[in-house]
């Protein structure tokens, strides 16, 4: 009878927890000296797409929505000629964004355990990031002709970033039970060895390893390749907008620009007119573009293809950065691309605008 009562108590407590858990978030913003009716935007941190917008009334604004299980957002506003923003993690809870004593970037966010973890790491790395950004600003003031000075500043900036990465590495090692450790390992893995990444990954809980980010890191450890000029591009196949599977090998015998981009990526969208021009000019010469679109929303993908006149082949598994293909190809940032010869070998990388046109002219104008 005693054991039965214990079981009933545990079951009731579990059910009560489920009932008490919120299915939405409320983010209340508190501001000071920002003009009335200033528009504030909530942007998706991964896609940069606008989620919602509200106005400031009596130095307050409120966003509500569903952030299950959590979301990284940007809160942004423009006022008095100033662009103000902050990235933050939002959970389905009552949260406060307090900017009464600061700008948005330094606002105090409460109500999210994940944000608390992010703030803890931010405080540890802030000095090094500040030094890196200050050095970056100095670089803009140096003439391009002064290559010696620019190289010196560039090395100094990289040293500061490396110091921040070392702190992040130790932080993940010290806090394998923090969700923010998992999220930061997603980025840090591209800066440390696979052996170091594997050690940090194996220390994470099974629960974290089974998340989308955790599985992407596992795939990266197992399958990613550091591709160099002359290497054969790994074959893959993904569905197009019609749901038909298209393989990279389908384009063998042609020059192929393997392009990685996304609807919410501004530089990717700005490059699409250049791609369209190149495709129309050289398609008859045996040139193809194969775009792997790192979206999670098919509607966004569909609208981008139509609006940007992406008349070449685009494919997506709608898994964003966590799909196998960008992980295998070690895509760190977008836009990113590889130019392949008819044998499927990599002959160039990161071709944009004039550089792409120059390379294609070199390949085809003699034909």
Judged against a pLDDT cut of 80, whether residue 213 lies above it is answered with yes
Tell me what the mean pLDDT of segment 258-286 comes to.
Answer: 94
pLDDT, tens only, 85-135: 999 999 999 999 999 999 998 899 999 999 999 999 999 999 999 999 999
pLDDT, tens only, 309-337: 999 999 999 998 888 899 889 888 899 99
Judged against a pLDDT cut of 80, whether residue 8 lies above it is answered with no
pLDDT given at position 361: 94
- At residue 264 the predicted structure's pLDDT band, cuts being 50, 70 and 90, is confident
- At residue 1 the predicted structure's pLDDT band, cuts being 50, 70 and 90, is very low
pLDDT, tens only, 15-52: 333 334 578 999 999 999 899 999 999 998 877 788 99
Tell me what the mean pLDDT of segment 273-282 comes to.
Answer: 95
Q: Among the CATH numbers 3.40.50.720, 3.40.50.410, 3.40.30.10, 3.40.109.10, which is that of 237-364?
A: 3.40.30.10
pLDDT, tens only, 141-154: 989 888 899 889 99
Judged against a pLDDT cut of 90, whether residue 283 lies above it is answered with yes
Judged against a pLDDT cut of 50, whether residue 202 lies above it is answered with yes
Angle at 123 between CA 119 and CA 128, to 5 degrees: 130
CATH code given to domain 20-111? 2.60.40.10
| Annotated domain spans of the chain | 20-111, 115-223, 237-364
Residue with tokens 């792997």: 292
Helix, strand, or coil (residue 137):
helix
Lowest mean pLDDT, pick from 17-26, 222-231, 245-254: 17-26
- Nearest Cα residue to 297 out of 312, 284, 316: 316
- At residue 199 the predicted structure's pLDDT band, cuts being 50, 70 and 90, is very high
- Cα–Cα separations (whole angstroms), residue 317 to 155, 320, 326: 38, 8, 11
Which residues are within 8 A (CB) of 130 and not within 5 positions of it... i.e. 6 or more apart? Answer: none
pLDDT given at position 89: 94
Spell out a b/e string for 291-320, using b for 16 or more CB atoms within 10 Å of the CB, else e.
bbbbbbbeebbeebbeebebebbbbbbebb
Q: 287-293 and 255-261: which strand pairing?
A: parallel
Beta strands in 56-168 (DSSP E): 60-65, 71-79, 82-90, 94-98, 108-110
pLDDT given at position 68: 81
How high does pLDDT run on average in the chain?
Answer: 90
């Amino acid at each position: 009878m005693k054991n039965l009562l214990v079981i009933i108590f545990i079951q009731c407590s579990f059910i009560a927890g489920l009932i008490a858990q919120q299915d939405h978030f409320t983010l209340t913003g508190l501001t000071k000296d920002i003009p009335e009716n200033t528009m504030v935007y909530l942007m998706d941190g991964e896609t940069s797409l606008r989620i919602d917008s509200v106005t400031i009334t009596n130095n307050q604004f409120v966003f509500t929505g569903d952030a299950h299980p959590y979301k990284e957002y940007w809160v942004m506003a423009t006022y008095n000629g100033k662009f103000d923003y902050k990235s933050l993690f939002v959970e389905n809870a009552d949260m406060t964004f307090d900017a009464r004593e600061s700008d948005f970037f330094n606002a105090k966010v409460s109500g999210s355990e994940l944000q608390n973890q992010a703030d803890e790491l931010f405080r540890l790395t802030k000095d090094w990031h500040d030094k890196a950004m200050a050095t970056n600003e100095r670089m803009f003031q140096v003439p391009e002709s002064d290559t010696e000075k620019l190289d010196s500043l560039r090395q100094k900036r990289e040293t500061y970033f490396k110091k921040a990465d070392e702190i992040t590495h130790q932080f993940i090692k010290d806090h394998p039970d923090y969700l923010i450790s998992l999220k930061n390992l997603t980025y840090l893995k591209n800066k440390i060895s696979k052996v170091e990444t594997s050690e940090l990954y194996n220390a994470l809980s099974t629960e974290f390893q089974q998340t989308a980010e955790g599985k992407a890191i596992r795939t990266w450890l197992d399958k990613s390749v550091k591709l160099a000029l002359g290497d054969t591009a790994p074959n893959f196949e993904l569905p197009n907008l019609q749901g038909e599977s298209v393989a990279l090998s389908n384009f063998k015998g042609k020059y192929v620009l393997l392009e990685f981009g996304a609807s919410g990526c501004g530089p990717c969208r700005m490059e699409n007119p250049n791609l369209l021009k190149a495709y129309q000019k050289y398609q008859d010469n045996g040139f193809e573009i194969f775009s792997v679109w790192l979206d999670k929303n098919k509607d966004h993908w569909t609208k981008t293809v139509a609006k940007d006149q992406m008349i070449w082949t685009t494919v997506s598994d709608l898994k964003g950065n966590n799909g196998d293909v960008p992980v295998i190809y070690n895509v760190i940032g977008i836009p990113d691309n590889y130019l392949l010869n008819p044998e499927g070998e990599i002959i160039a990388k990161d071709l944009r605008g004039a550089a792409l046109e120059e390379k294609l002219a070199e390949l085809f104008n003699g034909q």
